[in-house]
Structure 1
Amino acid sequence: MKPTKHTISVLVNDQPGVLQRVSGLFGRRGFNIESITVGESEEKGLSRMVIVTTGDDKTMEQVEKQLYKIIDVIKVVDLSANPMVARELALIKVHAEPSARPEIVSIVETFRASVVDIGPSSMIVQVVGDSEKIDAMVEVLRPYRIKELSRTGATAMVRGAVK
């Protein structure tokens, strides 16, 4: 089976050490976590982790079984098995002398991004979208000399009706 990208939602008790146990499981099994986001969920006392990783279906089935063995894991869903909405946020600090700013602002507008800070020789751009959009924006801004880049990693939900 060919490895594919999987986006997994893991609902967990909001307790110290849960993130370490979940990420440790991936590490022990030799899986790379491409991104992981964690935050509060719709239910008080529970957090949602959204993990992006690569593996074949059989491997992901094993990961799911192992996750359920962690006491604080409540529910595991492979979101990529369904139509989903996934978004990421990036902050990109780019070298921007005043003469280059109009060009950069034009790029920002094209990507429906926004300038969130302007310094004497730099600008910070915020962009939200799928990973491909973020990648494209980074590539277009690269010639202006990216000084710093911070990405959140994907967060996602299944589209459609509430279950």
Structure 2
Amino acid sequence: MDKQIKKEVISILVDNQANVLTRVSSLFGRRGFNIDSLTVSATNDPKLSRITVVFTGTEQGLHQIITQTAKLEVVKKIFTLNSNDSIYRELLLLKVKADKTERSAIKEIVEIYRGRIVDLSKDSLIIEMTGASEKLDAFMDMMSCHEIAEVCRTGITGIGRGASWHEE
């Protein structure tokens, strides 16, 4: 039996109604899974929402939680987002303390990583960046020499390449 731990990204289409997120996330907790990242959004169908969950476990455990999640009556479709066949993105908002002498150096780093400065005050600035988690991690590493005041990351959201879920 394979006990190797791996990360999984799944997309769950659920009924757009109250308490759906609680039902799905509590199932993971009851089964002993820690959710690394969780995002929820509306879809083009007002009756459905999309939940993207990133979690880790053994191959057997991953299969088990996916099977059990699919059995919930509020779940309409569940699928694994394989990194080769999907696009993952994350949003980062970063507040950095910076006076006017530091701003140009920070601006240069932000431009290299294709981010945007969305707010500027006398003693700080706020940077917005989207991309793969690895890109945001690398950017955060570059910014570590500056005084970081606040960090807010959305977690991963993803979508499969090719045909839409309702065309399969």
Report TM bin, short chain.
over 0.9
Higher helix share: 1
Q: Distance in 2 between matches of 1:123 and 1:142?
A: 15
Partner in structure 2 of residue 67 of structure 1: 69
Aligned partner of residue 107 in structure 1, secondary structure: helix
Q: Does 1:19 align with 2:14?
A: no
Matched, 1:33 2:35: yes
The question of 1:131 aligning with 2:139 is answered no
SS at match of 2:8: strand
**Range moving further from structure 2, 73-82 or 131-140:** 73-82
Counterpart in the other structure of 1:110:
112
Could you tell me which amino acid in structure 2 is paired with residue 132 of structure 1?
E
Deviations 1:30-73 (A, max 9, x none): 11111110000121210000001112222111111211222211
Q: Is the 8 A contact 1:39 1:48 kept in 2?
A: yes
Map residues 73-152 of structure 1 onto 2, 5 A cutoff. Answer: 73-80=75-82, 83-152=85-154
Q: Give the secondary structure class of the aligned counterpart of 1:58.
A: helix
Asked if 1:159 corresponds to 2:161, the answer is yes
In the aligned structure 1, how far is the partner of 2:70 from the partner of 2:52? Answer: 15
| Structure 2 counterpart of 1:106, one-letter code | E
Give the AA of the match of 2:15: N
C-alpha offsets along residues 117-143 of structure 1, whole Å, 9 cap, x if unaligned? 001100000110000011111111121
In 2, the alpha carbon distance for the partners of 1:156 and 1:52 equals: 10
Letter in 2 for 1:51: V
Inter-partner Cα distance in structure 2 for 1:15 and 1:161: 26
Task: Find the residue that maps to 1:120 and give its secondary structure.
Answer: coil
Structure 1 runs of 4+ aligned residues shifted over 6 Å read none
Percent identity of paired positions between Structure 1 and Structure 2: 42
Runs of 5+ unmatched residues, structure 2: none
CA distance in 1, matches of 2:38, 2:30: 16
Q: Which residue of 1 aligns with 2:58?
A: 56
- Secondary structure of 1:98's partner? coil
Change (3 A) 1:81 1:140: closer
| Matched positions, count | 163
